[in-house]
Amino acid sequence: MKTMFLTTLVAAAFASSSALAQRFQQEAMLILADNKFETVWIADANKSKFLYYSTVNGVDQNTMLISKPVSVWLMEPAEYTEAMELYQGRKYDEARSKFASVREAYIKLRTMPDNHSALAAFYEMECLRKLGKLDELAKAQELFVPDDRNSMTRKNQLAQLELYTLWDAARTKDWARLELLCIEKLETKMPGYQRAQVGYCLGLALEGQQKLFPAINAYNIAMTADTGTSEELTRKAAENALRLYGTDPAVQQAIRLYGTPDEDPESLGSQRLVEAASLAALYEMTLGGGKALTAEAKDFLKYLPKETAELQAAPAEVKEDAK
């Protein structure tokens, strides 16, 4: 009888330990007032309250209104940190997969302010945008429900969600509508990486309507607004602009007359040819991010002004001094 009792006790203890190990919970810091903090482990939440334990292995459940603490800081999960490192390293396919995993693992807390399920879903969409997978981005937006959106508090992230309207218009090639949306957005204040997106989308819209040089000017917004963190967009904008220069009859005429007695350096075509050559050189130096120019774009380098060509051929330290 004693042996059976001990066996039952051990089995119960093991079952309890196993249940604890499998129980979902996320460590959080509750800021209750000035200089009053409490560390808890949150196990579930809805729109008005959350369930938590006071210790990591606690068994007594407590509930609290979401509105009661001054704020709730959810501790960042290790897998979310890993996903962000991949994202910041521009490894978007790998990051997307990890964000999708975090999204599902922490979905119980999707109503908590700045929860990692909603944030992971947001960055998964950003990965799709940066990869140019606009059809998949549209599907992902359908799964980003109001609870997700309402849980986000950071202004730039909320503004980015609004920009998905532009990307969807680009996806459906609704060029006239996209042009209007972009022009309206450019009148508002926004970070450089978002202005770059608007400029790029405006370039697509104008190009789609055969507005050649307004499109190049729009792509120039994308190239100059935020070259630091918008490398992919900057590169694509430069590639599109170079392609458009190549289709311009005036530029083609300037190329035919280059170096002949009939060349007119003051003509519109010659000026645009110099612009194209300078952009090609800048692409090789910075905008391309190490990617080689196409053969067609590389031909523009023949028409660089002498001083620009000399600077491009100079050693790196000379280029740096010239900046």
- In this structure, are residues 233 and 269 in contact, taking their beta carbons and an 8 Å threshold? no
Q: If you average pLDDT over residues 262-280, what whole number do you get?
A: 95
Q: What is the dihedral of CA 136, 139, 140, 143, to 10 degrees?
A: -160
Q: What is the pLDDT of residue 323?
A: 45
Confidence of residue 316 (pLDDT cuts 50, 70, 90): low
Min mean pLDDT across 12-26, 61-75, 122-136, 211-225 is at: 12-26
| Structure confidence at residue 49 (pLDDT) | 96
Q: Which of 270, 280, 288 lies closest to 312 in space, CA to CA?
A: 280
CA distance 116 to 316: 43
Tokens of 240: 């599109």
d(CA 52, CA 31): 15
96 within 8 A of 132, measured Cβ to Cβ: no
Higher pLDDT, 73 or 9: 73
Query: What letter would DSSP give residue 108?
Result: G
Sheet holding 62-65, edge to edge: 62-65, 49-53, 36-45, 26-33, 71-74
Cβ partners under 8 Å of residue 215, min gap 6: 203, 204, 206, 207, 240, 241, 244
Q: What is the pLDDT of residue 188?
A: 94
Cβ-contact 31, 71 below 8 angstroms: yes
Q: Which CATH architecture has domain 154-247?
A: Alpha Horseshoe (1.25)
Residue 231: partners with Cβ closer than 8 Å, 6 or more residues away: 90, 289
Higher-pLDDT residue of 21, 159:
159
Structure tokens that stand for 38 in this block? 């409490």
Instruction: State the Cα–Cα distance between residues 143 and 75, nearest whole angstrom.
Output: 24
Q: What pLDDT score was predicted for residue 22?
A: 76
Average pLDDT, the chain: 90
Q: What angle do CA 37, 38, 39 make, to 5 degrees?
A: 130
Q: What percent of the chain has pLDDT over 70?
A: 88
CA angle 128, 25, 144 (to 5 degrees): 30
pLDDT at residue 149, as a whole number: 96
Condensed to tens digits (0 to 9), the pLDDT of residues 2-57 reads 555 444 444 444 444 455 557 999 999 999 987 899 999 999 999 999 999 999 99
Section 236-245 average pLDDT: 97
Per-state percent for the chain, helix, strand, coil, to nearest 5:
65, 10, 25
Give the number of residues written for the chain.
323
Cα separation, 65 vs 112, in Å, equals 11
Q: What's the predicted TM-score (pTM) here?
A: 0.86
Name 74's bridge partners.
Answer: 28
- What integer pLDDT is reported at residue 312 of this predicted model? 61
Strand partners, 37: 31
* Per-residue pLDDT, 33: 83
Say what percent of the chain tops pLDDT 90: 82
Residue 128 token pair: 């799709």
Q: Is 43 helix (H, G, I), strand (E, B) or coil?
A: strand
Phi and psi (nearest 5°) for 288?
Answer: -75, -15
Q: What pLDDT was estimated at residue 15?
A: 41
Distances (CA, A) of 241 to 115, 236, 309: 40, 9, 20
Q: Report the pLDDT value the prediction gives residue 321, as an integer from 0 to 100.
A: 54
Query: Quick one: pLDDT at residue 120?
Result: 98
* Token representation of residue 261: 């007695």
